[in-house]
Amino acid sequence: MLTLEDARKALAKGSVIIFAGPCTVVYEGRATSRLGVGERLVLIKKDRSILVHRPTGHEPVNWQPAGSMIDFLTENGLPVIRASNANELLKISFTAQPSLMVFDLRDTAEFEMYASEEDMKKAVLAKPSLVEPGFKPLEEERQVKRTGRVDILGLDALGRLVVVELKRKPATPEDVRQLSAYVESLNSEFGRKPRAILAAPSTTKAARREMEKTSVEFRCLTPRRCMQVLREAKGLDSYL
Amino acid sequence: MLTLEDARKALAKGSVIIFAGPCTVVYEGRATSRLGVGERLVLIKKDRSILVHRPTGHEPVNWQPAGSMIDFLTENGLPVIRASNANELLKISFTAQPSLMVFDLRDTAEFEMYASEEDMKKAVLAKPSLVEPGFKPLEEERQVKRTGRVDILGLDALGRLVVVELKRKPATPEDVRQLSAYVESLNSEFGRKPRAILAAPSTTKAARREMEKTSVEFRCLTPRRCMQVLREAKGLDSYL
């Protein structure tokens, strides 16, 4: 059975601490919130961020960011957690002895985030040379008669119309056929056949065979590369 | 020592489950993310929301909202958690046996959130009758020479200038003096003395004595009432 003294040591040591039990929660800061008695989990992390979780909902009901001043006190023989910073105070008062758990967690892995197709489109619009040098986007999500929406319509360095279709997964024969259908539709609409570029991280073998039968060109473009471009373009933090 | 079978039963029963141990995390959905091996906490709640927490940071590194399909599997003798919905899959694969904890938490308390002074101002602008019938706000945060900023400047039902100062805590003598200073400044600026209203949930005794010496009027306005007004005005969810 761990005690508050163990929690203090764990906090000093940089362990992750969980309290589980019935408590009330008061927050005073920019606004004020009060939460009556209920059974909750309180997580205190290595960086002194603190989260109060109810049994439902993916959001914590209260939380304080990293760097809070955290104190473990006792009021009427029961634990009280105070987490504060310059302008805010979060006070968690247990109404019965909580369970207390301590975990020494080591985690140095890098979180890798890869873009969606929508993100890939944003990256190409931010940096059209991802498709090819001299590519100029004209229109995105253009409706093509009866066949769907083209990701990006643009002009190449020689002024020829180019249809670009973006895929975040290996291109399939179905992707090639879809793009060929756009080419035919745009051909009948404009009276000239556009170039067609399928930009994806790779292709399946079947897709490569399908491409040999058509005029669809392949361009290697990974979601990861797009993410880098977006990151450079506006800073990942503001982007995510 | 709890087993995956215990976790399955706990999930069916609506308990909160925590896994603590080294794992990798893959998310496939609108975007893709990958997180290499590290020691983490995985919380699964009663409503089948799921959170993956690293030892630092107040945000989960991955999560899925309530209503996910959650399965506990075994791969190479180690637990794997799959949380999915129509378009997304979160897969957490442990690389060593995790600790497994189960909590039966009951929590029916209402979360009460009270507004900040900025929120109170928004509420008065949305519903000026909170100050008094016929009140018309003209300007907010008006700079008053050498004395500060007035929360709201407006006209009463008879067309007289009114200065409104909002406080979310019981009004103090200092608040009364501040408002009196605004009155004097505006008097010299406009050549007529505005009415002054201090709107707060209550006053201290000392503030009441101070008010008797001045022309400052008191209006009872609670942050809670303001929160209700904002909630009605645009729905609390979109507001918060």
Is 60 exceeded by the pLDDT of residue B5? yes
Nearest CB among A43, A50, A107 relative to B39 is that of A107
How far is Cα B46 from Cα B17, in angstroms, rounded to an integer? 8
DSSP 3-state of A41: strand
Which chain B residues are within 8 Å of A38, Cβ to Cβ? 105-109
A13 interface with B at CB cutoff 8 Å? no
DSSP 3-state of A5: helix
In which residue are the tokens 């893709």 written? B32
**B240–chain A nearest CA distance, Å:** 11
A92: left (phi over 0), alpha (psi -120 to 50) or beta: beta
**B42–chain A nearest CA distance, Å:** 12
What's the rounded mean pLDDT across residues A51-61? 96
**Closest chain A residue to the Cα of B116, Cα to Cα:** A31
Is 80 exceeded by the pLDDT of residue B146? no
How far is Cα B176 from Cα B187, in angstroms, rounded to an integer? 16
How far is Cα A104 from Cα A167, in angstroms, rounded to an integer? 41
Interface test with A, best of B56, B88, B104 (most A CBs within 10 A): B56
* Residue B216 · residue B175 · CB < 8 Å: no
pLDDT band, residue A159 (cuts 50/70/90): very high
Interface test with A, best of B15, B23, B41, B222 (most A CBs within 10 A): B41
**A213–chain B nearest CA distance, Å:** 31
pLDDT at residue B237 in the model: 43
What's the rounded mean pLDDT across residues B23-52? 94
**B43–chain A nearest CA distance, Å:** 9
- The tokens describing B198, both together, are 């201090």
Which chain B residues are within 8 Å of A236, Cβ to Cβ? none
Residue B231 CB: number of other CB atoms within 10 A? 16
B46 interface with A at CB cutoff 8 Å? yes
How large a percentage of chain A has pLDDT more than 90?
A: 76
Q: pLDDT digit string (tens) for A173-198?
A: 999 999 999 999 999 888 889 999 99
A90 interface with B at CB cutoff 8 Å? no
In which residue are the tokens 């362990």 written? A15
**Closest chain B residue to the Cα of A47, Cα to Cα:** B56
How far is Cα A111 from Cα A117, in angstroms, rounded to an integer? 19
* Domains of chain A, residue spans: 4-103, 117-239
Sorted by sequence, the CB contacts under 8 Å of residue B213 that are 6+ apart come out as none
Cross-chain residue pair B56–A65, CB shorter than 8 Å: no
Sorted by sequence, the CB contacts under 8 Å of residue B104 that are 6+ apart come out as A39, B13, B15, B16
* Residue B163 · residue B153 · CB < 8 Å: yes
Nearest CB among B33, B46, B51 relative to A113 is that of B33
Is 90 exceeded by the pLDDT of residue B106? yes
Which chain A residues are within 8 Å of B112, Cβ to Cβ? 33-35
DSSP character at residue B48:
S
* Residue B229 · residue B130 · CB < 8 Å: yes
The CATH fold of domain B4-103: Protein Yojf; Chain: A; (2.70.180)
**B136–chain A nearest CA distance, Å:** 26
Cross-chain residue pair A118–B30, CB shorter than 8 Å: yes
Residue B171 CB: number of other CB atoms within 10 A? 25
pLDDT at residue A232 in the model: 78
Which chain A residues are within 8 Å of B99, Cβ to Cβ? 103
**Closest chain A residue to the Cα of B61, Cα to Cα:** A111
A98 interface with B at CB cutoff 8 Å? no
Sorted by sequence, the CB contacts under 8 Å of residue B108 that are 6+ apart come out as A38
Q: pLDDT digit string (tens) for B192-208?
A: 899 999 999 999 999 99
DSSP character at residue A87:
T
DSSP-derived pairing of the beta strands B148-155 and B161-166 = antiparallel
**Closest chain A residue to the Cα of B15, Cα to Cα:** A55
* Residue A41 · residue A18 · CB < 8 Å: yes
Highest-pLDDT range among A25-39, A95-109, B108-122, B215-229: A95-109
* Residue A59 · residue B60 · CB < 8 Å: no
pLDDT at residue B234 in the model: 63
ipTM above 0.85, yes or no: no
Q: How far is CA A171 from CA A174, A178, B2, B5, in A?
A: 8, 11, 44, 40
Give the A:B interface size as CB pairs under 8 Å.
Answer: 162
- The tokens describing A18, both together, are 């969980």
B188: left (phi over 0), alpha (psi -120 to 50) or beta: alpha
| Residue bearing the bigger pLDDT, A112 or B44 | B44
DSSP-derived pairing of the beta strands B195-200 and B161-166 = parallel
The DSSP secondary structure of A148-211, one letter per residue, reads EEEEEEEE-TTS-EEEEEE-SS-B-HHHHHHHHHHHHHHHHHHSSPPEEEEEES-B-HHHHHHH
Residue B223 backbone dihedrals phi, psi, to 5 degrees = -55, -35
Is 80 exceeded by the pLDDT of residue A96? yes
pLDDT at residue A30 in the model: 75
Looking at the structure, give the CATH architecture of the domain made up of residues B117-239: 3-Layer(aba) Sandwich (3.40)
Sorted by sequence, the CB contacts under 8 Å of residue B210 that are 6+ apart come out as B173, B176, B177, B216
Q: What is the Cβ-side half-sphere exposure of residue A70, based on CA atoms within 13 angstroms?
A: 29
Q: pLDDT digit string (tens) for A114-143?
A: 888 988 999 999 999 999 999 999 988 888
pLDDT at residue A236 in the model: 45
Cross-chain residue pair A45–B55, CB shorter than 8 Å: yes
How far is Cα B12 from Cα B6, in angstroms, rounded to an integer? 10
The DSSP secondary structure of B164-177, one letter per residue, reads EEE-SS-B-HHHHH
A122 interface with B at CB cutoff 8 Å? no
B117-239 shares the fold of B4-103: no
pLDDT at residue A115 in the model: 84
